[in-house]
Amino acid sequence: MKKFILIIFLFPILNLKSQIVEDHLVSKMDGTLLLDDLSTYVNYWGFGQYIINSQNKPSFPGPLLTYKENDSVHLWLHNLSPEDHTIHLHGLDVSQAYDGVPTTSFAVNSQDSTVYKFLCTHPGTYLYHCHVLTTLHLSMGMYGMIVVHHAIPNLLYNNGPGFNKEYNYLFSDMYKQWNINPTSPGEFYDFNADYFMVNGLSSYQLLEDSSQLIQYNQGDSIALRLANVAYSKIKLIFPLGCNPTIYMSDGRVLPNHFSTDTLNIFPGERYSIILNPDPGMVDSIDVSYFKLTTNEHIGQNFIGILEDQSFSNFQENENISVPCIYPNPANEQLTIKSNSEQNLIIIDINGKIIANKKLINGINKLNTSSLNNGAYMLYFVEERKTNKLIINQK
């Protein structure tokens, strides 16, 4: 009798640890994407949020799915496309029946619906994608990101570091001719990525979207969730002063966290890291793409980092680090705060000197309308300091 009573009292306590969370996704093959040249449209296939009695357009990439540790997830897939699709839960601890590999799990037929069930056993960063003709379906856009948060808010993992801001970045690539004509892609081994994205945005689209910018206040601790669903290797180069520490890899805590200014992320890998930026930073994380077979550099993007108060207090704040540049990315005009009279050299990505400027002690306004879009290096001669500048002419 005592054992029975104990079980009765424990049952509601155990139930508090896990709750059922339902998500509904739709798979469709009728998306149209405008590339960053603002003139080329390509097809994409993808996932979107399923809404009853709606056109249910897919998004690019698929919706970000967020859960908490110990959530019991029921993830529905409503296949409103003419072909079979699945959801492969990449990196999550799921049973084989719900793994989304058609030969060992199941495929969701056209105009059919089913549910994938799994328990979120570990906080971390994960992926989901279609596993039917994976090379083609994934490259066409059938992928998304999953984040499992720790049960305690703003904690990376049990006894791990805390944070007060969080950003998620999903890296991917595309072979444009496949998306333009997906019915005749040719041999799958002949995939040659020629369009490179962060959260579905490429180059100048990424720079123009303020929601993709890492914005912080002094003392912030920022969690970055990073995932690579591209067929390219991604190399992240962190600027001096953002102070990244790598804590988690592929949904597991690393035995020893480490600091680095460079992080390589291979296809399918995921990382959870913490940034503790120095005051006054205006810079960007270099996101470079390399071909796996040759290690050839084939693409580049930038994720901007900006202190929220760095420009509002630009002229008044004597404690802001100098030289400081704003905005970055810039288009027609660049503002530079210098602490002395000095010479500035502007160097393009090929190492060619394209301009020499004389700076005064204080606020300098430079006309940059003649510079082409791309990355530049600013070299402050007397201080022997460098800053990266991105030009994004509208």
Q: What is the DSSP string of 46-100?
A: EEEE--TTS-----SSPPPEEEETT-EEEEEEEE-SSS-B--EEETS---GGGS-
Domain boundary pick from 149, 183, 200: 149
What single-letter DSSP state applies at residue 322?
A: S
Q: Domain for residue 122, yes or no?
A: yes
What single-letter DSSP state applies at residue 143?
A: E
Predicted local confidence at residue 146, as pLDDT: 98
Q: Domain for residue 317, yes or no?
A: no
Among 19-33, 76-90, 279-293, the range scoring the smallest mean pLDDT is 279-293
For 225-256, the pLDDT digits (tens) are: 999 999 999 999 999 999 999 999 999 999 99
pTM of the complete model: 0.78
Q: Per-residue confidence at 321, pLDDT binned at 50, 70, 90?
A: low
Among 32-36, 81-85, 100-104, 185-189, the range scoring the smallest mean pLDDT is 185-189
Q: Domain for residue 319, yes or no?
A: no
Q: Are 78 and 204 within one domain?
A: no
pLDDT at 350 over 80: no
Domains contained in the chain, number: 3
Q: What is the mean pLDDT of residues 370-378?
A: 84
Q: What is the mean pLDDT of residues 356-371?
A: 90
Domain boundary pick from 121, 149, 177: 149
Q: Are 26 and 138 within one domain?
A: yes
Q: Are 133 and 28 within one domain?
A: yes
184 SS3 class: coil
Q: What is the mean pLDDT of residues 21-37?
A: 95
pLDDT at 12 over 60: no
Q: What is the mean pLDDT of residues 284-296?
A: 95
For 308-317, the pLDDT digits (tens) are: 754 444 444 4
Q: Domain for residue 7, yes or no?
A: no
> What residues make up the domain containing 265?
165-307
Compute the C-alpha angle 349/302/351, nearest 5°.
10
Q: Are 111 and 230 within one domain?
A: no
Q: Are 281 and 331 within one domain?
A: no
Q: Are 172 and 302 within one domain?
A: yes
Q: Are 125 and 179 within one domain?
A: no
Picking from 317, 316, 336, the residue whose alpha carbon sits closest to that of residue 326 is 336
Q: Are 129 and 175 within one domain?
A: no
Predicted local confidence at residue 316, as pLDDT: 46
CATH number of the domain at 26, please: 2.60.40.420
Q: Are 169 and 267 within one domain?
A: yes
The Cα 55–Cα 49 span in angstroms is 11
The Cα 89–Cα 33 span in angstroms is 25
CATH number of the domain at 379, please: 2.60.40.3080
Q: Domain for residue 5, yes or no?
A: no
The Cα 262–Cα 326 span in angstroms is 25
Predicted local confidence at residue 337, as pLDDT: 84
Q: Are 130 and 174 within one domain?
A: no
CA distances from residue 357 to 321, 330, 367 in whole angstroms, order as listed: 20, 17, 11
Domain boundary pick from 307, 333, 362: 307
Q: Domain for residue 215, yes or no?
A: yes
Q: What is the mean pLDDT of residues 1-16?
A: 39
pLDDT at 122 over 70: yes
130 SS3 class: coil
Q: Domain for residue 110, yes or no?
A: yes
Q: Are 169 and 144 within one domain?
A: no
Q: Are 170 and 301 within one domain?
A: yes
Question: Which tops the pLDDT comparison, 63 or 55?
Answer: 63
